[in-house]
Structure 1
Amino acid sequence: MKKTIKQQKSILIILLSNIFIAFLGIGLIIPVMPSFMNIMHLSGKTMGYLVAVFAVSQLLISPLAGYWVDRYGRKKIIIIGLFLFGVSELIFGLGTNVFVLYLSRILGGISAAFIMPGVTAYVADITSIQERSKAMGYISAAISTGFIIGPGVGGFIAEYGIRMPFYFAAAIAFLACITSIFILKEPLTKEELAEISANKKQTTIIRDFKKSFHPLYFIAFILVFVLAFGLSAYETIFSLFSDLKFGFTPKDIAAIITISSIFGVVVQVFVFAKMVDKLGEKKLIQLCLITAAIFAVASTLISSFLEVLAVACFIFLAFDLLRPALTTFLSKDAGKEQGFVAGMNSTYTSLGNIVGPAIGGILFDVNIHYPYLFAAVILVIGLGITFMWKEKPLGNA
């Protein structure tokens, strides 16, 4: 019989800290982008590519990482991922040319591809079906906090030096790596890992993508893409939008992002499991998509600091609840293939993180409101897809 979440509190804290640190690094670059552009004489296109290359490398490695999680064990992959993340942040902090910055972001993407499925599969292994939604809510809270608060943390730490956010991230990554080595234990035996590996062939991106096209899997993964697209497009453009339209300072932007993330995390931790019990994953997902679309449109109509803060809070909250609802649904149907599902979850997240900022940046150059309006359209399309979602046992994919 599996232990309860309360009985495994220390293990969960370590796992949640690991994934928080990984996604914190994704957002750290955003507030210092203008300064790096000036110091290193980089174009806006180059800075956009630095954001996208992280997601591209994560996309390419995620299916392999999902396979390795099932073959070599959760702990090893998590530790390797944390080490690579620390190296990537240290390299970026020391970087003095564009090649080094690209190398850093590529390593960062690889590290995220390792950490995300490793932690998700680990948590799925040690929690019961009854507590799965609560545990996935905690994971989502850690991801969202890192991803959303990253720019805020980066903005505050950058007051002490433009490269300090990256040294800080490297230090806590190496600390998390060392802590994980001594505290975490592999949740599956060698025999259980061997059984999982024996039941599946060497993975390839094409094979896993084909497998992800199973109707029940595919709709959930498409919604994962919609989530990542909407959140990354909104967050990437947010600082530029706020600066150009309202004249907000980096501290103003950091304050909005920080308050919004705290609001989202509090609701996730204390309310998410109850909402799933009352509404079910499907209705909750639909509610989140509707809410996010409405407030994305509202972003083009607001004019004051408090209005921007209120809209940001509800948009981030919608995304924060959408992620664990999707992850919970997928993990329940994954059975012994938690690594595959977690890996493909990461893959579709990466696709959204590539396309969202790219299209958002292009549309922003045309009209500062277009990225939000387009994001709203994508969210409404995602909502339409949910009505084709037939809730039935997955069976064999």
Structure 2
Amino acid sequence: DYLIHAWAPSIVWLFLGRFLAGITGASFTVASAYIADVSTKENKAKNFGLIGAAFGIGFIIGPGIGGFFGEIDIRLPFYIAAGLTFANFLFGYFFVPESLTMENRRQINYAKMIPGVSLFALRNYKGILLLISAFFLANLAGQALPSTWSYYGIERYDWNPRQIGLSLMVVGLLVAVVQGFLVGKLVTKFGKRKVIIYGFLLWTVGMFLFSFAHEPWMLYAFLIPYALGGIAGPTVQGVISNQVSEKEQGILQGSITGLVSITAILGQFIFAPVFYYFIRPETSIYFPGAPYALAAVLLLIAFILATTAIKRMNVEPE
């Protein structure tokens, strides 16, 4: 994918590269299933948080690599990305052991490998569907940021590319700190139930405050409760994983990742048009923060669903 991007003579080739990336980009799913395999029930939330921390760190370093080397040669960042991906391949092939023991492995069912089929597997997990629904809505609400963040900064604060990049680095740093260091500690101290409840609440409050951030410093300040709300995501994922047998972690994580991918598609059709509607010259109500207000409503619904779900599932209150 990245080599095709580096060599691409036209935009058609860029789309081909993205297509290949999509059909071979299940590493997040496999990583989640791997973590579920090698973790105990007690430390799954902490270990799932490490994925979020890795994403946050990449969110800090990645734009810097792209910006710096892109000024040298526009194709150079893609060669670097290809090299990093190949290093991942080598590391996984030579150093990462198999996570499943022989007794926990199953025969391959090729019918379940058809794209989209994994989503239908969710109907087999009726006991956790409510919590999965909350997770879906939270991820859908989260798409408000990547869909409109840059445009929001330009529209409301007249930000330039450097200021946008700096804000994204702050987002990545906060995500890395919260999910890499706080999730495990808070779950140990307060228990999964409180972490999920207060995490969703902080998510909702932070997102709602974004919509009324009239000054840049307010946006940065409101990032704190929003980022802290991220403690809920890995904890929810850990609780869901604990409800499924060791043999089904791959299917479960694939289904969850499929839902997250759907939110990335839906988010582009929801939040960007809402943003445009409320900033267009002929609009009767000028409200550039409208996408974040809408996302806050979705998070509030997710908060209600999650609270109801963990009470029904008797998630430990300690």
Query: Aligned to 1:187, what secondary structure does the other structure show?
Result: coil
> What 5-or-longer segments of structure 1 have no aligned partner?
1-87
Q: Distance in 2 between matches of 1:150 and 1:227?
A: 25
Q: Which moved more, 1:263-272 or 1:230-239?
A: 263-272
Q: Distance in 1 between matches of 2:262 and 2:57?
A: 20
1:324 Cα deviation from its structure 2 partner:
0.7
Q: Distance in 1 between matches of 2:59 and 2:244?
A: 25
Query: Aligned to 1:334, what secondary structure does the other structure show?
Result: coil
Q: Is the 8 A contact 1:264 1:313 kept in 2?
A: no
Q: Distance in 1 between matches of 2:151 and 2:63?
A: 12
> Residue 143 of structure 1 aligns with which residue?
55
Q: Deviations over 1:238-279 (max 9, x none)?
A: 011101221112121111221232123223232211222343
Q: Structure 1's 232 and 118: CA in aligned 2 closer, same or farther, altered over 3 A? A: same
Give runs of aligned pairs for residues 162-201 of structure 1, distance below 5 A: 162-190=74-102, 192-193=104-105, 196-197=106-107
2:127 counterpart of 1:216: yes
> Residue 373 of structure 1 aligns with which residue?
293
> Residue 89 of structure 1 aligns with which residue?
2
Q: Distance in 1 between matches of 2:110 and 2:22?
A: 25
Q: Is the 8 A contact 1:227 1:322 kept in 2?
A: no
Q: Deviations over 1:27-62 (max 9, x none)?
A: xxxxxxxxxxxxxxxxxxxxxxxxxxxxxxxxxxxx
> Residue 107 of structure 1 aligns with which residue?
20
Q: Is the 8 A contact 1:288 1:321 kept in 2?
A: yes
Q: Distance in 1 between matches of 2:232 and 2:61?
A: 18
Q: Structure 1's 275 and 372: CA in aligned 2 closer, same or farther, altered over 3 A? A: same
Q: Distance in 2 between matches of 1:250 and 1:210?
A: 42
Query: Residue 383 of structure 1 aligns to which amino acid in structure 2?
Result: F
Match of 1:231 among 142, 154, 161: 142
> Residue 243 of structure 2 aligns with which residue?
333
Q: Structure 1's 253 and 292: CA in aligned 2 closer, same or farther, altered over 3 A? A: same
Q: Is the 8 A contact 1:363 1:371 kept in 2?
A: yes
> What 5-or-longer segments of structure 2 have no aligned partner?
279-287
Q: Is the 8 A contact 2:59 2:168 kept in 1?
A: no
Query: Aligned to 2:313, what secondary structure does the other structure show?
Result: coil
Query: Aligned to 1:197, what secondary structure does the other structure show?
Result: coil
> Residue 282 of structure 2 aligns with which residue?
none
Q: Distance in 1 between matches of 2:65 and 2:147?
A: 15
Q: Structure 1's 164 and 286: CA in aligned 2 closer, same or farther, altered over 3 A? A: farther
1:236 Cα deviation from its structure 2 partner:
2.2
Q: Is the 8 A contact 1:228 1:356 kept in 2?
A: no
1:313 Cα deviation from its structure 2 partner:
3.9
Q: TM-score, normalised by structure 2?
A: 0.84
2:196 counterpart of 1:285: yes
Q: Is the 8 A contact 1:261 1:316 kept in 2?
A: no
**Alignment RMSD (CA, Å):** 2.6
Give runs of aligned pairs for residues 71-86 of structure 1, distance below 5 A: none
2:233 counterpart of 1:323: yes
Match of 1:391 among 289, 313, 317: 313
Match of 1:117 among 21, 25, 29: 29
Query: Residue 233 of structure 2 aligns to which amino acid in structure 1?
Result: R
2:161 counterpart of 1:250: yes
Q: Is the 8 A contact 2:3 2:82 kept in 1?
A: yes
> Residue 218 of structure 2 aligns with which residue?
307
1:159 Cα deviation from its structure 2 partner:
3.7
Residue identity over aligned pairs, in percent, reads 25
Give runs of aligned pairs for residues 42-53 of structure 1, distance below 5 A: none
1:152 Cα deviation from its structure 2 partner:
5.8
Q: Is the 8 A contact 1:228 1:349 kept in 2?
A: yes
> Residue 276 of structure 1 aligns with which residue?
187
Q: Structure 1's 173 and 244: CA in aligned 2 closer, same or farther, altered over 3 A? A: same
- Which structure shows the bigger proportion of residues in helix conformation? 1
Q: Is the 8 A contact 1:224 1:348 kept in 2?
A: no
Q: Is the 8 A contact 1:296 1:315 kept in 2?
A: yes
Q: Is the 8 A contact 1:153 1:254 kept in 2?
A: no
